[in-house]
């Protein structure tokens, strides 16, 4: 079982290696792949230093699975080349997500759509994953009508350079290059990614489009505002959900507490609720502040937090790979 990790030196790629190791994924040979400038450098996996190889070298080695976290342009160019030699590609970029010929997968929700001919599989946006993990079971029971989501997103979602910018600002160091158009320390930027259609950012458009494809239901509407905050450890979301059918709060909590991969943290009397500080390094999606919206009927407010580098990226990708292996698709 040869497994390639493309983008192995990046922030998500490093977490992918960690998750593969932690979950004891059945690997006979790990192939770390990165840009030409990184070829020959070493990454650590299971106590061994492995040499980074080029994209073409990895393709020639014909791995069973290649997990990509190297940007949309790289994926568009190289994912088909891996697929042509029989490799299953699990791609973490936005390149293939809304392609009608490609599956967009959160294993707990829709892994059953995968088949042997799905050689390129899209891993959803980090904010989307934690949202649908909560939205899907509630939609099954109460039929979602409309969703309004506001995000509070970690700088780790932008990458190492953004973390460096935040830390440099905290330390009063002006020598580090700026990734964001403004300071992020002591600030909140209502811009995640570039502005696009209707003055929504690409991040907001992903949140508005991807959940419908994953859940397999385009009957509900969804709008989003995505905000970058000076936080490391996870993304947070304030979510308002209007249902077609009414609900009881106790039933909502019961459904979510019984949902695989979701942890309910909702004890306001003892100030227990999800926070990035708590979610960092964990694979679960945490939900709390569960309460009825008094401004309109059949409507719910809740707060969702997850580590965007793990369940929001690396862990979800590895779970897809695990499903392929467990169901003998690979």
> What sign results for the dihedral spanned by CA atoms 189, 193, 195, 196?
negative
- Which of 225, 231, 232 shows the shortest CA–CA distance to 186? 231
Residue 292: CB partners within 8 Å, gap ≥ 6? 249, 299, 300, 301
Residue 136 annotated among the catalytic residues of the structure: no
217: Cβ contacts below 8 Å, ≥ 6 apart: 139, 144
* Nearest CA among 251, 22, 23, 43 for reference residue 4: 43
DSSP per-residue codes, 158-200: T-HHHHHHHHHHHTT---SPPSSSS--TT--BS-SS-B-GGG-
Catalytic residue among 235, 312, 313, 314: 235
Q: Could you give the CA distance from residue 315 to residue 146 in angstroms, rounded to a whole number?
A: 28
Q: Does residue 276 contact residue 234 with C-beta atoms inside 8 Å?
A: yes
Question: According to DSSP H, which parts of 3-103 are helical?
Answer: 11-22, 55-60, 72-84
Give the chain's count of helices (H) and strands (E).
10, 14
Active-site entry in 43, 109, 111, 126:
126
**Strand pairing partners for 288?**
303
- Is 126 labeled as catalytic in the residue annotation? yes
* CA terminus-to-terminus distance, the chain: 9
Order of strands across the sheet that contains 221-228:
221-228, 144-153, 235-243, 299-306, 285-292, 262-264
Annotated catalytic residues are: 126, 235
């Amino acid at each position: 079982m040869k497994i390639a990790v493309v983008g192995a030196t990046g922030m998500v790629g490093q977490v992918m290696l960690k998750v593969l190791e932690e979950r004891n994924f059945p690997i006979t040979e790990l192939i770390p792949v990165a840009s030409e400038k990184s070829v020959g450098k070493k990454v650590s996996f299971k106590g061994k230093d492995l040499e980074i190889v080029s994209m073409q070298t990895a393709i020639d080695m014909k791995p069973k699975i290649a997990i990509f976290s190297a940007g949309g342009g790289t994926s568009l160019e190289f994912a088909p080349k891996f697929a042509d030699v029989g490799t299953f590609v699990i791609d973490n970029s936005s390149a293939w997500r809304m392609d009608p010929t490609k599956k967009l997968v959160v294993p707990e929700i829709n892994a059953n759509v995968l088949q042997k001919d799905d050689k390129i599989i899209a891993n959803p946006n980090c904010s989307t994953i934690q949202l649908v993990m909560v939205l899907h079971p509630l939609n099954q029971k109460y039929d979602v009508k409309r969703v309004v989501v506001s995000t509070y997103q970690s700088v780790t979602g932008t990458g190492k350079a953004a973390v460096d910018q935040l830390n440099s600002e905290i330390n009063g160091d002006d020598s580090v290059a700026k990734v964001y158009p403004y300071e992020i320390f002591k600030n909140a930027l209502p811009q995640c990614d570039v502005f696009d259609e209707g003055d929504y950012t690409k991040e907001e458009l992903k949140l508005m489009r991807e959940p419908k494809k994953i859940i397999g239901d385009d009957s509900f509407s969804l709008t989003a505002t995505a905000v970058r905050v000076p936080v490391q450890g996870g993304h947070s979301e304030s979510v308002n959900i209007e249902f077609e059918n009414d609900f009881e709060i106790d039933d909502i909590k019961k459904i979510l507490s019984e949902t695989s991969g979701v942890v309910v943290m909702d004890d306001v009397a003892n100030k227990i609720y999800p926070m990035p500080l708590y979610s960092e390094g964990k694979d679960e999606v945490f939900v709390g502040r569960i309460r009825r919206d008094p401004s309109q009927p059949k409507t719910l407010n809740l707060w969702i937090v997850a580590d965007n580098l793990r369940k929001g990226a690396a862990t979800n990708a590895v779970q897809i790979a695990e499903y392929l292996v467990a169901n003998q698709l690979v």
